[in-house]
C-alpha cells in the first residue's frame, strides 16, 4: 500500500501541492488527470523524491518517510521501492537498449552481469523489443524508446511504477503500442500510478481515478464515478472540454 498524507510542495512563493492525501492499494492502477499546471507531475516526482516535498508523510508498505526531516537513507530506501517512466524516455544515448535496461540492475542493485543480462533480455522481449537488444536510442522510434523505459522500470522490481504522461512525447500513431504494453502490465497486478491525458485508456485500465486542479485533489473514485457521473463542477468542466462528444455521459 502507498499512503500520502498532507503532501505539500512550494517553489519559492508558489505553492504547487496544497496538502495531498491519497491511498493506493497494492496492485491498484491509479490514473491522475487534470489540466496543465495542476500539480500532477510534481506529485509523482515527490513520491520518489525527484522533488523534495515541503511537508507531509509518504508510506510505502511499512516504510514511512517524514518529508520535513528525511535522512539520506530514508530517501535511498524510498527510491528503491519505486521506478519512474518519464515523458522524454531519459535513456542513455551511448548505451544499447539492453545496456539501458541492465544499468539499474548492475549499478544500483549489484546484480551479476550475466543474470542482469538474462533478466533484461526477458523484459525487452516482454515489451516486444527482443529484436532490438543492440539498437541505440537514436535507432529506435519514440514508442520503442518508451518501451525500453518501461522494461528498465520493470527490471528494478519496484513496489510501484510511476508513469509521467508516458505517451505525451509520441507521434499519434505510436501511442497505441505503448498503451498496449502498459495494459498488459496492469493485468499482472503491478501497482501503478499514471499521470495521463489519455481519457479512454484511463477509463479502461485504471481501478481508481484522481482529478487534480490547482494543487489539490478535487475528486476521486472509480472510473465510472469520474467519467460517467462526476460530482464536482470543476471535474465536469474539465471532462467536457477534453473528452470527445458522446464518449462519456457527463
CATH number for the domain that contains residue 73: 3.40.50.300
Is the pLDDT confidence value at 250 over 90? no
Is the pLDDT confidence value at 245 over 80? no
pLDDT attached to residue 244: 57
pLDDT attached to residue 128: 95
Question: Within 10 A of 147 (CB to CB), how many other CB atoms are there?
Answer: 29
Q: Is 111 within the bounds of a domain?
A: no
Q: Is 193 within the bounds of a domain?
A: yes
Is the pLDDT confidence value at 97 over 60? yes
Q: Is 129 within the bounds of a domain?
A: no
Selected residue with higher pLDDT from 169 and 140? 140
Q: On the CB side of 8, how many CA atoms lie within 13 Å of its CA?
A: 12
> In terms of DSSP H, where are the helices of the chain?
40-47, 72-80, 97-103, 113-126, 142-155, 172-186, 199-205, 223-227, 233-242
Radius of gyration of the chain (CA): 18
Average pLDDT, the chain: 93
Which candidate, 176, 98, 177, 84, places its Cα nearest to that of 137? 98
Q: Is 128 within the bounds of a domain?
A: no
State the pLDDT confidence band at 162, using cuts at 50, 70 and 90.
very high
What is the tally of structural domains in the chain?
A: 1
Please give the residue range of the domain that contains residue 232: 2-90+159-242
Residue 63, H or E segment: strand 63-66
Q: Is 234 within the bounds of a domain?
A: yes
What is the average pLDDT across 48-62?
A: 95
What is the average pLDDT across 88-107?
A: 95
Which candidate, 23, 30, 20, 1, places its Cα nearest to that of 202? 30
Distance (Å, whole) CA 158 – CA 140: 26
pTM: 0.93
What is the DSSP secondary-structure string of 168-185?
TTS-HHHHHHHHHHHHHH
Q: Is 67 within the bounds of a domain?
A: yes
**What grid cell was written down for 28?**
491498484
Per-residue model confidence as pLDDT tens digits over 108-144: 899 999 999 999 999 999 999 999 999 999 999 999 9
Q: Is 31 within the bounds of a domain?
A: yes
Q: Is 69 within the bounds of a domain?
A: yes
Is the pLDDT confidence value at 249 over 50? no
Amino acid at each position: 500500500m502507498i499512503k500520502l498524507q498532507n503532501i505539500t510542495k512550494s517553489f519559492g512563493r508558489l505553492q504547487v501541492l496544497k496538502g495531498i492525501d491519497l491511498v493506493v492499494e497494492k496492485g491498484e492502477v491509479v490514473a491522475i488527470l487534470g489540466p496543465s499546471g495542476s500539480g500532477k507531475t510534481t506529485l509523482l516526482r515527490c513520491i520518489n523524491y525527484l522533488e523534495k516535498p515541503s511537508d507531509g508523510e509518504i508510506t510505502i508498505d511499512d516504510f514511512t518517510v517524514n518529508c520535513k526531516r528525511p535522512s539520506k537513507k530514508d530517501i535511498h530506501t524510498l527510491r528503491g521501492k519505486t521506478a519512474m517512466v518519464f515523458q522524454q524516455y531519459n535513456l542513455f544515448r551511448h548505451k544499447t537498449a539492453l545496456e539501458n535496461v541492465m544499468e539499474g540492475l548492475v549499478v544500483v542493485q549489484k546484480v551479476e552481469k550475466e543474470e542482469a543480462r538474462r533478466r533484461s533480455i526477458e523484459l525487452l522481449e516482454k515489451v516486444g523489443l527482443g529484436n532490438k537488444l543492440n539498437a541505440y536510442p537514436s535507432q529506435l522510434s519514440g514508442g520503442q524508446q518508451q518501451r525500453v523505459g518501461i522494461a528498465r522500470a520493470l527490471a528494478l522490481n519496484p513496489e510501484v511504477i510511476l508513469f509521467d504522461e508516458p505517451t505525451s512525447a509520441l507521434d499519434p500513431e505510436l501511442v497505441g503500442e505503448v498503451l498496449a504494453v502498459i495494459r498488459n502490465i496492469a493485468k499482472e497486478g503491478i501497482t501503478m500510478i499514471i499521470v495521463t491525458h489519455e481519457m479512454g485508456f484511463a477509463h479502461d485500465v485504471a481501478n481508481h481515478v484522481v482529478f487534480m486542479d490547482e494543487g489539490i485533489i478535487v475528486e476521486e473514485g472509480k472510473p465510472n464515478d469520474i467519467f460517467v457521473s462526476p460530482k464536482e463542477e470543476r471535474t465536469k468542466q474539465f471532462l467536457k472540454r477534453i473528452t470527445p462528444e458522446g464518449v462519456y455521459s457527463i
